[in-house]
A and B are shown apart, each in its own frame.
Chain A
């Protein structure tokens, strides 16, 4: 059987994809909670670091997912899901396209956090913008974590 791009190391990449996704999910929850407290005046000294972790872990998750995709597209989607479980293909399509939509938000939160100074009262509205974008990233990550796990129970690479 002909090997697909990155297929020989796809299981390792899938594991790293999972690890990076867990880090991204955790950092998005942490960032949302701490930013909400910062709005009420709490000190958040490592806001930029947490935003950088979110942007980096999301980008790594996204890139690794892209590397795994050729093996998944043929061995799982084409060979099984498309014919036997088309709704699962729909679920996967929503997962991968949603991941693309949240990428700019994850990077945007990091760029915005680099510019926000919580000591300045006039910067508070930008914290709300950060919370809004982080919340969207969190929702996408949570949905993708659930759908990725569920699709894995049906068939995986």
Chain B
């Protein structure tokens, strides 16, 4: 059935080129992390009522923002990676893309710095939990 997908051979060749794969994966990671830290308004799941609502909905129980936040970032990252794959496939028609070792190391360093920076951003974002005063004392473990 592969013959039914136009351009599948070209895309397959592009996916066999480590230069294009590294470029597209790095761009996907960069966009994913950016979107994840930006945290645009996305649907939240209310597990007690089993409904999805946008932030700010009233009269509902606790909400879960992780699904929407991760889903939005995954869509953005996959979209950016897919767009990169299409562009590199088109560009590869003229000449296969290749990267020098120095460029490979620089792209790797940027991707790694993005991941480390996003991790630090998450810790910074959640820091207030560590300074909150407990509302209820934890149960005694003395039996």
Q: A89 on the interface (CB 8 Å rule)?
A: yes
Q: Give the residues in chain A near B105, CB-CB below 8 Å.
A: 125, 128
Question: Which one, A11-19, A26-34, A37-45, A105-113, is touching chain B?
Answer: A105-113
Q: How many contacts between A and B, using CB within 8 angstroms?
A: 135
Known: A85-B138, A90-B130. A115 touches B17 (CB 8 A): yes
Q: A74 on the interface (CB 8 Å rule)?
A: yes
Neighbour of B47 across the interface among A74, A84, A100, A103, CB < 8 A: A74
Q: How far in angstroms is the closest Cβ of chain A from B70? A: 4
Q: Size of chain B's interface in residues, with CB distance under 8 A?
A: 56
**Size range of the interface on A?**
35 or more
Whether A114 and B15, one on each chain, are in contact in the complex, defined by CB atoms closer than 8 angstroms, is yes
Q: How far in angstroms is the closest Cβ of chain A from B142? A: 16
Q: B135 on the interface (CB 8 Å rule)?
A: yes
Question: Which one, B2-10, B87-95, B121-129, is touching chain A?
Answer: B121-129
For this complex, 17 residue pairs linking A to B, each with C-beta atoms less than 8 Å apart, are: A66-B66, A74-B47, A78-B62, A86-B134, A90-B127, A101-B119, A108-B25, A111-B15, A111-B21, A112-B22, A115-B21, A125-B99, A125-B101, A125-B105, A126-B18, A126-B22, A126-B104
